[in-house]
Structure 1
Amino acid sequence: MMDLKTILLLLSWPDLLSAVFTILCWGGVGWHVEHPRQSRPSVNRLMRRYRREWMLNNIDRSPRVHDATLLGSLRDGTAFFASACLIAIGGALALIGNTDRLDRVAEELNMGPTPAILWEVKILLPLLLITNAFMKFVWSHRVFGYCSVMMGAIPNDEQSAEARSRALMAAELNIEAARSYNRGLRSVYFALGALGWLLGPGALVLTTLVTTATIWHREFASASRRLLLAGPTDEALRDMERDNP
């Protein structure tokens, strides 16, 4: 059994630097999405307002079947991704135990012989990212459950200070669940990008840059963000149709 020091000695400097670069991009873009400048909020930050408005509008809505359906769909999404992550974790563990197929692929691509331990290390990076995603999705599912309980505890009384207080508490639980859900999605994206390491450090850097750019675009330059900023006006809808023919 090789220790960590031996494994690090087997990895080349380009491999080590590309792996560190991936981890830094994963953490950096996540921090930027959750802590954007006030002048340029992310989609994640913009949605907080609508989550609070949803819970406040829930105060005088009776029955609350519509709200329960919406929250149920959010929980279903977290459960789906958590299940998919479990399957991916199982597949990665099976591949770590059998790297012969990767050796054959490397030979066909003229990549030269590679020690089995290096294949295992390269699979370990996406495995860790997908494991983190699984934990985030499970926590998100649980917090959405807390939110549903808090929603049920909101009195149907617009004039009640307790109703507004509980609605805002439910909104913060909803925001926290969404934060964990988005963190899980980012981990999934970067886990897919980390598979580029199997082709070498240059491929890992390239797939990491593509993943980072994709997340940045969706949070700061997407049509969805422009619509959230402008509201459903005729001008905004025309812009959406022009940008997405």
Structure 2
Amino acid sequence: MDHLKFFTSLDALAVGYLLLAWFGIGYVIERPLGSRISTSVLVANYRKQWMIQMITRQPRIFDATILGTLREGTSFFASACLIAIGGGLAAISNAKKLSDVAQNLALDAPEIIWEVKILLALLFITSAFLKFIWSNRLFGYCGVVMASVPNDKNDPLALPRAQKAGDLNITAARAFNGGLRGIYFALGSLGWLLGPVGLLVSTTLTLFILLRREFASTSREILLRDEG
């Protein structure tokens, strides 16, 4: 119980702020409030159009290549998360060295305090790993449905199946984006190693980066450019 004195009300506030930001930013990005939609939602509309254009494309090697590239991305990040999880568990098992480094920086605290702070980062990394794995599987489902889409646009099954493929593609991308946000917040959570103020600052910085890239980036302006 003596360890609890190292966790103050400011620590609780900072962790609560971090978790609220994690859940909240995902909701705002995927379900924008008002007329200003996110880059992710804009790209989702192009994913729908991609599947419709695919109906009459001959051959469909181009579409298969793009989908394969998307799946490779999910596999890469899932593997990276596994490595990070292993590194985090190794750090926890050897928290004495981390505690010694902290003492040199005048950040004196018991080893269990550092273990808890590393576990918080691992929470986000683990969530990201699961999302990347699910995204990979959904892209696989999308590929199967794409293969079943008739090439004849007059076929009554063509458009409904293309729309199904589009919805699966968007769902897979949503999981992938959630995994990326998990990595962002895992890095942000490391600010807690510097104390609750460090966590508040790093969380705010993470929020700023995500909001800017989704709602005020150059890529968003390009996607909104008039095509008329």
Per the normalisation by structure 2, the TM-score is 0.96
Give 1:37 shift. 2.5
- Structure 2: unaligned runs, 5 residues or longer: none
Partner of 2:126: 131
Distance 2:65 2:57 in 1: 14
Partner of 1:93: 89
Matched, 1:184 2:179: yes
Matched, 1:108 2:130: no
Matched, 1:19 2:18: no
- Calculate percent identity across the aligned residue pairs: 51
Matched, 1:220 2:177: no
Supply the AA of the counterpart residue of 1:175. I
Partner of 1:47: 43
Distance 2:39 2:188 in 1: 22
SS in 2 for 1:161: coil
| One of 185, 204, 218 as aligned partner of 2:199 | 204
Distance 1:152 1:33 in 2: 30
Contact 2:139 2:172 in 1 (8 A): yes
Residues 99-142 of structure 1 deviation map (CA, whole Å, 9 limit, x = unaligned): 12211221221122x11111111111110000000000000000
Give 1:10 shift. 5.0
Give 1:146 shift. 0.2
Runs of 4+ aligned structure 1 residues displaced above 4 Å come to 5-10
Residues 6, 137 of structure 1: alpha-carbon distance in 2 compared, 3 angstrom cutoff: farther
Give 1:9 shift. 6.1
Distance 1:199 1:10 in 2: 13
Contact 2:37 2:215 in 1 (8 A): yes
| One of 140, 146, 150 as aligned partner of 1:155 | 150
Distance 1:59 1:96 in 2: 52
| One of 171, 175, 182 as aligned partner of 2:170 | 175
| One of 45, 68, 72 as aligned partner of 2:68 | 72
Of the structure 1 ranges 215-224 and 158-167, higher mean CA displacement relative to structure 2 is found in 158-167
Aligned-CA RMSD value: 1.5
| One of 80, 83, 88 as aligned partner of 1:84 | 80
Distance 1:12 1:121 in 2: 14
Partner of 1:242: none
- Structure 1: unaligned runs, 5 residues or longer: 234-245
Contact 2:3 2:110 in 1 (8 A): no
